[in-house]
Structure 1
């Protein structure tokens, strides 16, 4: 029969010796599987905790900064009220009576209330006058020659700036000192008396 298989192009069956597979200890296999599952569970828990923290941070940012566009628009209205009060001469304010006095008081009250509501929602003015110019918080409109203050100091505020939380809502428009003595650089210890002009 083997001759027939060979004639028909079939390969004869060859008996191969069986190789022994090492026996795996079932307890060791379970320990390994348990360790792998424990590792996967710990990784999943850590990922979920990171996701929870990231989601909380995103929700807090959304709450804090969701009104940024609205607050920016409200600043324009507040500025308009401030300008309206600025154009009224002091003598007119003091001598106003009747409906003009009521109008002035109404504008002042509206401006104060808008400022209060903006502050209630986290919109705070940016301190600028007398500060060192910070391009992240201030917008330089012009330079003022002033040898009495260090160069780069804000000497005039044209328009107040505001921030909401840590974000600048509107930079302060300022005039910056030019030509004054540069702010003294911090000196290291032991450098007194060293002539650096050489």
Structure 2
């Protein structure tokens, strides 16, 4: 009969055996763990500082954007301002000619309208169109046999849209059917 006996081989650590060796190993592990904790704390502090710097930079950029967002727009308006100043000076001259002033005002108006169109502003001039309460403000209704009922027969003040958003509704006179006699 043969007995199968399994034997376990226990490896002995190198160096001295005993509590001093275990304490030294634990101290080495402690030093290693403290180094890892210090590195993790340093990385966390650096990350927090980086996040704070990014937040401040974004805040500065947002402030700058708010402050100077209209810079190009206002720069484009300067030519129109110059034109108006020239017209005012011309009107103050003792030999001012009305026709020249009118032509200057028309030129300035065309400059202003070109500027507005370039920046996405469109005129709402609905004469002859069906009344639309989303884009028109009815000031009055007038009986008319010439214009279909609920259609705009006159514009008192043009409206304006910025792209698809209404800036100001057109103030209009709306036609209504003549009263039956």
TM-score (norm 1): 0.41
Query: If each structure's helix is expressed as a fraction of its own residues, which one has the higher value?
Result: 2
